[in-house]
Amino acid sequence: MDDQRGDGSGGLGASARAADAGPSRTFDTQRPGPTAHGEPAASSSSVSAAVPEAPPDAPLSRFRHGKRLTLERYLQDLPFADRPPSPQRYHTGKIPNTKTGDGKPRLLLMGQRRSGKSSISSVVFNKLAPSETLYLETTHRIHKESMHSFMDFQVWDLPAHIDYSDPAFDTEDIFSDISALIWVIDAQDEYYDAIQRLNTTILRLQESHPSIIIAVFVHKVDGLSEDYRTDTFRDIVQRVQDELCDAGFENAPVNFYQTSIYDHSIFEAFSKVIQKLIPELPSLEALLDALCASCRIEKAYLFDVLSKIYVATDTSPTDIGSYEICSDYIDVVVDISEIYGWERDEAEAAAEADDGGAVGDSGNKDAESLITMEKHGNNYLYLREINKYLALICIMGEDSATERKALIDYNVRVFQEALNRVFSR
Ligand SMILES: Nc1nc2c(ncn2[C@@H]2O[C@H](COP(=O)(O)OP(=O)(O)OP(=O)(O)O)[C@@H](O)[C@H]2O)c(=O)[nH]1
C-alpha cells in the first residue's frame, strides 16, 4: 500500500478517532467497541431504506472552533443558510413539520418486538459488534441517539409495546418533527401483524405528515436461503402495497430494503435513507459523475467516515460488492491511522486554512487529508479525505493507471473545491 500524507495531516483516522472518542457524536459510551463485520454473509437488494446537545465545553468544541465546515454549516440549522430556489425534491432536515425548530432531521425506528430496531441503531451508530446484540434488552422507553457528523441528525428507537395507532395516544410529539420513518420487519418471523401496523401508521401519517419519508427494512435476511429471502421480500412488498391501495393510497412512496446487521446491507440501506435527506444530492451525483468521467473511475463514493454511511455515489449502477470493498478499506485506513496518525492542533490547522484551499494547492482548507492507494485485483482503490467527516473513495478503472496519479489528484482537488462551493451556496 502506498500511503501518502498530504497537507501535514494527522490523517483520516485522527479525525475519526477524535470523533469516536466522543466529541462529535453523542453516543452511549457504555456500549462496547469496534464493529465486527464478517459474520454470515447475505446479499442485499433494494426496491425503488433526545439526546441533549453536547455542552459547549465538551470536546465537540474542538471541531466547532475556527473555520467550520461549509457543509456542516449549510446542513445544520443556521438561519441565514441560502437555500436554492428550486422546488424541494428531498427533505432538507428543515422539514415543514418542525415544531421545535431545531432543524435536525430525525429518523424513527419502529416495528414489532424483537424485530431488531435496537440492534440496527447500535451496530450502525455505536459500532456494536453484531454478535453483541444478542444481549440487548427490550426497549421500554424511547431511546434517542444523536449523530453529529457531516450532518446532524437523531435516531429514535421506539418501544414496540406502545400502540401508536391508538387515537387516544398523542403522537404529535413523536411524529411532528420526523424526517424519515424506518419500519423494521423481522423476515424470520410471522409478519402479518407487522404489516398491518405499518399500514395503519402510514395511512395515519399520510394525513397528518405527508412529507415524511418511509422506508421498510425487511430485516434479518441473513438467516434465510436465497430463494426464501426473495419470496419473503416480494410477499411483504406486495402485501404492503396492496393493502395501502385497498385503503385508497395508491403508489405509496415507500421504499423497501433487505437488511441484516451481519453484513453491509444495513449500512447501505441507511445510506439510501440518509441520502433522501440531502437536498444537494443531485449536485453531488453530478460532480461525482464528472470526476468519474475525467479520471476513468469505475465507482466513486463519498463516505461519512464515522458511520460508514455513504452520502452520495455516482449514477452508475451500484452493487453491494463495491460498497463493501470501499467500506472495508475505510476501516483499514482508520485502523492504520489509529496507530500512525497524529492530531493536528488548531493553530496549525488554521494556518493551513489561510494558506491553502486554492485549486491545485496542496493546502486543504477544511480538513486533514490523506491519500492512500492499494492494488486490489486489477483495480486499485483511491481514498482522499475531503473534510473532517467525509472521504472520497474510488474504485479506479483498469485503464486508469497509477502513473496518472498526479492528474487524478488534481481532479480530486477540483472536485473538493466544487463540493465546498455547492455547500457554501
Ligand atoms: N439473525 C439476525 N438477528 C438479528 C439481526 N438484527 C437483530 N437480530 C437479533 O434480534 C434480536 C432482537 O433484537 P433487538 O435489537 O433487541 O430488537 P428490538 O426490535 O429492539 O426489540 P424490542 O426492544 O423488544 O422492541 C437480538 O437477539 C438480535 O441479536 C439480524 O440482522 N440478523
Spacing, Cα 109 to ligand 1 middle (Å): 12
Strands in 213-219's sheet, in edge-to-edge order, are 46-47, 254-258, 213-219, 180-186, 106-111, 152-157, 143-148
pLDDT tens track for 303-325: 888 888 898 999 988 887 888 88
Q: Which atom of ligand 1 is nearest to the CA of 184?
A: 19
> Taking residues 350-372, what's their average pLDDT?
48
**The pLDDT of residue 71:** 38
Spacing, Cα 157 to ligand 1 middle (Å): 12
**Residue nearest to ligand 1 atom 29, measured at CA:** 134
**Residue nearest to ligand 1 atom 21, measured at CA:** 114
> Taking residues 172-180, what's their average pLDDT?
75
> Taking residues 29-42, what's their average pLDDT?
39
Closest of 127, 67, 131, 153 to residue 334, by C-alpha? 127
pLDDT tens track for 119-155: 998 898 888 889 988 888 888 888 888 877 777 788 8
Domains and CATH numbers, the chain: 30-59+91-275 (3.40.50.300), 281-424 (3.30.450.190)
Spacing, Cα 134 to ligand 1 middle (Å): 7
Q: Which atom of ligand 1 is nearest to the CA of 138?
A: 23
Q: Which atom of ligand 1 is nearest to the CA of 266?
A: 31
Closest of 95, 37, 70, 47 to residue 367, by C-alpha? 70
- Confidence band (pLDDT; 50, 70, 90) for 183? very high
Spacing, Cα 325 to ligand 1 middle (Å): 26
Among 52-56, 64-68, 124-128, 248-252, the minimum mean pLDDT is found in 64-68
Using the predicted structure, report yes or no on whether residue 360 has a pLDDT greater than 70. no
**The pLDDT of residue 372:** 55
**The pLDDT of residue 1:** 41
Q: Which atom of ligand 1 is nearest to the CA of 113?
A: 25
**The pLDDT of residue 218:** 94
Q: Is 182 in the pocket of ligand 1 (CB under 6 A)?
A: no
State the Cα angle at 307 between 148 and 299, rounded to 5°. Answer: 125
**The pLDDT of residue 344:** 61
> Tell me, what's the ipTM?
0.97
Closest of 173, 146, 157, 155 to residue 55, by C-alpha? 146
> Taking residues 224-230, what's their average pLDDT?
90
> Other C-beta atoms within 10 Å of 367: how many?
25
- Measured CA to CA in angstroms, residue 279 lies from 95, 160, 207, 271 at distances of 11, 31, 24, 14
Q: How far apart are CA 422 and CA 416, in angstroms?
A: 10
Spell out the residues 6+ positions from residue 390 whose beta carbon is closer than 8 angstroms to its own: 71, 150, 302, 303, 304, 305, 311
The answer to pTM > 0.80 is: no
Q: Is 121 in the pocket of ligand 1 (CB under 6 A)?
A: no
Spell out the residues 6+ positions from residue 316 whose beta carbon is closer than 8 angstroms to its own: 292, 298, 299
**The pLDDT of residue 269:** 92
**Residue nearest to ligand 1 atom 1, measured at CA:** 220
Q: Which residue has the higher pLDDT, 108 or 161?
A: 108
Residue 121 amino acid letter: S
